[in-house]
Chains A and B, each alone.
Chain A
Amino acid sequence: MNARLTYVSAAIALALLVLAPLEFHRYGLYILTQWAVMTIAAIGLNLTLGYAGQVSLAQGAFVGIGAYCAAILTTHGWPLFAAGALALVLCFIIGWLLGYPALRVQHHYLAFVTLAFSTLAFLVFRNESWLTNGTEGIDGVPRPSLLGLSTTPHLRYYYLCLFMLALVTLAMLGLVRSPWGRAFIALRENPLRALSLGVDTRRYILMAFAIGSALGGLAGVLYAPLVGLVEPPAFTLTLSLNLLMMVIVGGSGYFLGPFLGALVAVLLPEWLRGLENYYLIFYTMLVMGLLIYSPTGLIGIADRLLVNRRTRAASAARAAIGATIEGP
């Protein structure tokens, strides 16, 4: 896609995201903010899964760690910003430590290790009442004040989350366009060749995993004041699976995948309100079907259509040139 088209589209999207919610009711704002927060977590997981090819089933746990950081610190008077910084550092380190042993063996081990970690994290959230208040959870997580302005009104908190999403998007863009981005493509396309060219695949994978986990933590920090209550059942393996589905459905490895996937995941339960319990059955069927037809998700389908059109256009152009050359 040419650059100008991309900039214009981005500007339009941003304008929509900023202006449309002015008309939304409280519930609509809540859904939209939830989307923004989940997209941050999904962007992180997309880096781990889509760019570095590692299945992480622990993203939900990292969201939980971030949420508890925010809840514990803010209910003790600390600013949310401090919780954010702590969550980023903590989740990065834990992510790195988690990935290190798992990557010294076969690839799929990371999936199992993260699965185990997710379960362990839940147990800690539930059992360590002195820290997390156990099954009751921590209630009344306050929304921060920025430069004297309170973000308790839903619209203002939404703008804060949108701002953080924009920051994360820009940072990720920078990362993907840097030499790291090239290394990740190499890692994904042909790890053997990448290795022989000096790409330390293990280190890049760990980095992707650690950064992805840190972003999960950041999402958690924003999640806590959004919902107000932080309790263990919100951060089970189910959340990890949901985030994974988001990345897959959107399109794993595509930059815009997480945005689309989170949108589908947040909106679908609303649309399928009438179907009550059946929504999850329907959703998982959709995921399986999508994976069979297009493992690269919804954006993958769009990409394939675009590539087909481009290739056909290119061959048509070549044929036209050929015809004119061979002319009389």
Chain B
Amino acid sequence: MAAVLEASGISKRFGGIMAVDGVSFEVREGEILGIIGPNGCGKSTLFNCILGQLQPSEGEVRLDGRVTTGMRPCDLNRLGVSRTFQLLQIFPKLSVRENLILAAQEHKGTMMSRLLGPRDAGLSVAADQMIAFFKLGSLADELAGGLSYGQQKLLDAAMAFMAGPRLVLLDEPAGGVNLTMLASLKDRLKAFHEERGATFVVIEHNMDFVMSLCTRVLVLAEGKVLAEGLPAEVRADPTVIEAYLGH
């Protein structure tokens, strides 16, 4: 199976602290890779290094074989990589539909064509389809700031999917969401995965979420890769259980 993303020897140093220490892994086409690990083990930092929010101190990232280490997030996004953030980051002053149009408009045409073209950059239909897909239908014109937390989480995921990306990285999508919404979120992620064949990487704490959704799991601890394999294998791995003692 082809590797969509390859990370080799990623390290990130903050002053004297090694947040990420020589992490290497690959993401295969069409899979849902889960990344788990105790708090503070470097998961989000790793994401940020791969996605350009941070410059890795060492290591290399390749997307479809092409070196993308240190590329700006907007350039990566245009290559087909999108992400959600741990701390919800939707645009509260824009409507739900506007948020979604924003999420995809930079992929349409050039800057000039966007200036002179239609107000919605031709994306209203696609936005409404996405709204329907995420079952947010009645909220299309609501300001995003007025939605419930769970609904905002769905919107956040929807925004990540809008531009039809190749690779989606989700940073703790289940954080702080109630059970009903969680089921809804999982259901939508699975549906998107099946219909569009996108590749996912998911950072999560919620074990059930990870185990029921992911096809493969990577375990990080203290900035290093601890274990890797099928969900059931990893769950039974003694070193993993030890690292997670109490979780």
Chain B positions within 8 Å of A201 at CB level: 74
Cβ B73 vs Cβ A182 within 8 A: no
Complex CA distance for A185 and B116, rounded to whole angstroms: 18
The A-contacting residues of B in range 109-125, CB under 8 angstroms, are 111, 114-117, 119-121
Find out whether the CB atom of A179 lies under 8 angstroms from the CB atom of B98.
Answer: no
- In the complex, A291 has a CB within 8 A of chain B: no
**Chain A residues, CB < 8 A from B83:** 196
Cβ of A328 < 8 Å from any Cβ of B?
no
* A183-B109 Cα distance, complex, nearest whole Å: 14
CB–CB A180/B115 < 8 A: yes
Q: For residue A85, give the distance in angstroms from its CB to the closest CB of chain B.
A: 19
- Which chain A residues in 167-192 approach chain B with CB under 8 Å? 175, 177-180, 182-183, 185-186, 189-190, 192
With A185-B91, A192-B53, A193-B89 in contact, is A199–B106 under 8 Å at CB? yes
Closest Cβ of chain A: how far from B116's Cβ, in Å? 8
Q: Which residue of B lies closest to A203 (CB)?
A: B111
Contact B114 A197 (CB under 8 A): no
Q: Is A198 an interface residue (CB 8 A)?
A: yes
Given contacts A183-B105, A185-B93, contact A197 B159 (CB under 8 A): yes
Closest Cβ–Cβ distance, residue A173 to chain B (whole Å): 12
Given A192-B89, A197-B159, A186 contacting B111 (CB threshold 8 A): no
Interface residue? A136 (CB, 8 A): no
Asked whether A200 and B74 contact (CB < 8 A) given A179-B121, A182-B102, the answer is yes
Contact A198 B111 (CB under 8 A): no
Q: Does B27 contact A (CB under 8 A)?
A: no
Least Cβ–Cβ distance between B91 and chain A, in angstroms: 6
A198-B77 in contact given A178-B119, A179-B105, A183-B106 (Cβ < 8 Å): yes
Interface string of B26-65 (1 = CB under 8 A from A): 0000000000000000000000000101000000000000
* Count of A-B contacts judged by CB separation below 8 Å: 80
Which among A177, A183, A193 has the highest number of chain B CB atoms within 10 Å?
A193
Q: Are A186 and B115 in contact (CB under 8 A)?
A: no
Q: Which residues of B contact A267 (CB under 8 A)?
A: none
Inter-subunit contact A186/B119 (CB<8 Å): no
Q: Is B107 an interface residue (CB 8 A)?
A: yes
> Considering the chains assembled together, what is the distance between the CA atoms of A248 and B34 in angstroms?
48
* A200 touching B119, Cβ below 8 Å: no
List residues of A (193-225) whose CB comes within 8 Å of B's CBs: 193, 195-201, 203, 207
The residues of B that contact A190 with a CB separation of less than 8 Å are: 89, 91
Chain A residues closer than 8 Å to B51, beta-carbon distance? 196
B196 interface contact, C-beta 8 A: no
The CA-CA distance from A196 to B116 in the complex, in Å, is 24
Is the beta-carbon distance between B115 and A178 smaller than 8 angstroms? yes
State in angstroms the CA–CA spacing of A11 and B90 once bound together: 36
| Residue B209 is within 8 A (CB to CB) of chain A in the complex | no
The answer to the question of B101 belonging to the interface, with a C-beta cut-off of 8 Å to chain A, is yes
Q: Which of A178, A186, A189 is the one whose CB lies under 8 Å from B114?
A: A178
A179–B89 CB distance below 8 A: no
Which residues on B sit within 8 Å (CB–CB) of A200? 72, 74-75, 106
Question: What is the distance, in angstroms, from A170's C-beta to the closest C-beta of chain B?
Answer: 14
Complex partner residue of B77 from A179, A189, A192, A197, CB under 8 angstroms: A197
Indicate whether A179 sits within 8 Å of B119 (C-beta atoms), given known contacts A195-B72, A198-B78. Answer: yes
| Docked pose: A3 CA to B196 CA in angstroms | 40
Q: Which residues of A contact B89 (CB under 8 A)?
A: 190, 192-193
A198 adjacent to B107 (CB under 8 Å): yes
The residues of B that contact A180 with a CB separation of less than 8 Å are 111, 114-115
Check B103 against A197 for contact (C-beta < 8 Å).
yes
With known contacts A183-B106, A186-B91, A200-B106, A195–B117 Cβ distance under 8 A: no
A179 with B117: CB separation less than 8 A: yes
B11 is an interface residue with CB less than 8 A from chain A: no
Say whether, besides A182-B94, A186-B91, A192-B89, A197 and B106 are in contact (CB < 8 Å): yes
**Cβ–Cβ < 8 Å partners of B91 in chain A:** 185-186, 189-190, 193
Q: How far is the CB of B176 from chain A (nearest CB, A)?
A: 18
Q: Which residues of A contact B77 (CB under 8 A)?
A: 195-198
* Interchain residue pairs with CB less than 8 A apart (29): A179-B101, A179-B114, A179-B117, A179-B120, A179-B121, A182-B102, A183-B102, A183-B106, A186-B91, A186-B102, A189-B91, A189-B93, A190-B89, A192-B89, A195-B72, A195-B77, A196-B73, A196-B74, A196-B82, A196-B83, A197-B102, A197-B103, A197-B106, A197-B159, A198-B78, A198-B106, A198-B107, A201-B74, A203-B111
| Interchain residue pairs A-B with the least CB separation, the first 5 | A198-B106, A198-B77, A193-B89, A179-B114, A195-B73
Which chain A residues have a beta carbon within 8 Å of chain B's beta carbons? 175, 177-180, 182-183, 185-186, 189-190, 192-193, 195-201, 203, 207
Q: A179-B120, A197-B82, A198-B77 are in contact. List 8 more A-B contacts (CB 8 A).
A: A179-B101, A182-B105, A185-B91, A190-B91, A192-B89, A193-B89, A197-B103, A198-B107
